[in-house]
């Protein structure tokens, strides 16, 4: 990436980040990069390009110990299937009866029994774990946070949810207001992993295409979305939105969802899946708790970006 477009912050783990306030200025000049931003020469030719990834589907409860036991089993299953990275759904550690219960169990970022346990699981199985939508505290604020653990159990990145779910669903007696319990995040994150450069998002972010385009402009090859889509919104919009994000950004998409009925009476859609850059579903969970894997082929991704260069045609 040219120096004048270097992200605001970077570290040895390959982290890229950009504040939302600086995005407009950067996006105005990023299209001029054309094919340079989308070329596989960025990769060490000695490393294999195809990697195995997994998504898990859960029916989380209001009992943390039960959820962590399920999470551990699913991580073990993913590892047995050869996955190097697994995405867990939003609220995988806790799905309470009331929104404020989730806030009440918030842990300081990088500390607390839930985060310690997940770090131990990552180290035990030697796999990257992405845990979506866990309540964390930082700088006197509480966020819905996506936590990224490497295969040594180190917390190498985090992303605070930028778009909070404040809606009343049409034709349904359902109303949600996440901002009553959580603060807004304001930083986009892309993290370098063994399977590729991963752009981070959570649930409701899916409805904001500019979020994902910015992640691609900062080098994302894989987009991840832990979620807890309601049954009604999931049935109507989940798959077409995921396919749109994959197609328009020419990225792999990993989408991990909650499923079934929860302690708060909420029904979630499930249908966790992995999509390729053409928008095709290459793996999908069955009903109920499940884990599926698929191969991420970055050679195919870059070939598509070069032969169908829509990303370089922006004006």
Q: What are the catalytic residues?
A: 90, 161, 203
Rounded Cα distance between 242 and 272, Å, is 10
Place of tokens 């370089």: 312
Q: 248 near 277, Cβ under 8 Å?
A: no
Rounded Cα distance between 123 and 285, Å, is 25
Distances (CA, A) of 30 to 5, 188, 222, 306: 8, 16, 19, 17
Rounded Cα distance between 266 and 174, Å, is 9
* Number of CB atoms found within 10 A of residue 233's CB: 22
By C-alpha distance, which of 135, 136, 118 is closest to 127? 118
User: Which residues have CB under 8 Å from 197's CB, separation 6+?
Assistant: 14, 16, 190, 191, 219, 220, 221, 222
Place of tokens 């029916």: 59
Adjacent-strand bridge partners of 180:
none
By C-alpha distance, which of 23, 59, 54, 15 is closest to 191? 15
């Amino acid at each position: 990436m040219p120096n004048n477009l270097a992200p605001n912050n970077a570290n040895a783990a390959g982290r890229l980040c950009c504040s939302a306030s600086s995005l407009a200025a950067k996006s105005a000049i990023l299209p001029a990069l054309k094919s340079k931003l989308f070329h596989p020469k960025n990769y060490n030719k000695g490393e294999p390009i195809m990697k195995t990834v997994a998504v898990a589907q859960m029916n989380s409860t209001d009992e943390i110990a039960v959820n962590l036991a399920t999470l551990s089993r699913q991580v073990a299953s993913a590892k047995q299937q050869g996955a190097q990275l697994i995405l867990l759904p939003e609220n995988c550690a806790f799905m309470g009866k009331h929104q404020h219960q989730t806030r009440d169990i918030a842990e300081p970022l990088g500390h607390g029994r839930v985060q310690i346990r997940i770090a131990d699981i990552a180290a035990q199985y030697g796999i990257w774990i992405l845990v979506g939508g866990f309540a964390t505290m930082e700088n006197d604020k509480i966020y819905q946070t996506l936590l990224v653990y490497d295969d040594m159990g180190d917390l190498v990145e985090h992303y605070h949810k930028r778009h909070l779910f404040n809606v009343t669903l049409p034709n349904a007696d359902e109303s949600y207001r996440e901002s009553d319990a959580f603060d807004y995040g304001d930083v986009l994150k892309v993290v370098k992993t063994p399977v590729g450069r991963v752009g981070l998002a959570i649930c409701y972010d899916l409805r904001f295409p500019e979020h994902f385009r910015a992640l691609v402009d900062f080098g994302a090859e894989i987009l991840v979305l832990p979620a807890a889509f309601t049954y009604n919104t999931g049935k109507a919009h989940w798959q077409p939105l995921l396919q749109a994000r994959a197609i328009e950004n020419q990225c792999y998409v990993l989408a991990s969802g909650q499923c079934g009925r929860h302690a708060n009476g909420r029904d979630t859609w499930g249908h966790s899946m992995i999509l390729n850059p053409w928008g095709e579903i290459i793996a999908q969970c069955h009903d109920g708790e499940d884990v599926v894997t698929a191969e991420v082929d970055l050679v195919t991704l870059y070939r598509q970006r070069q032969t169908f260069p829509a990303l370089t045609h922006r004006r």
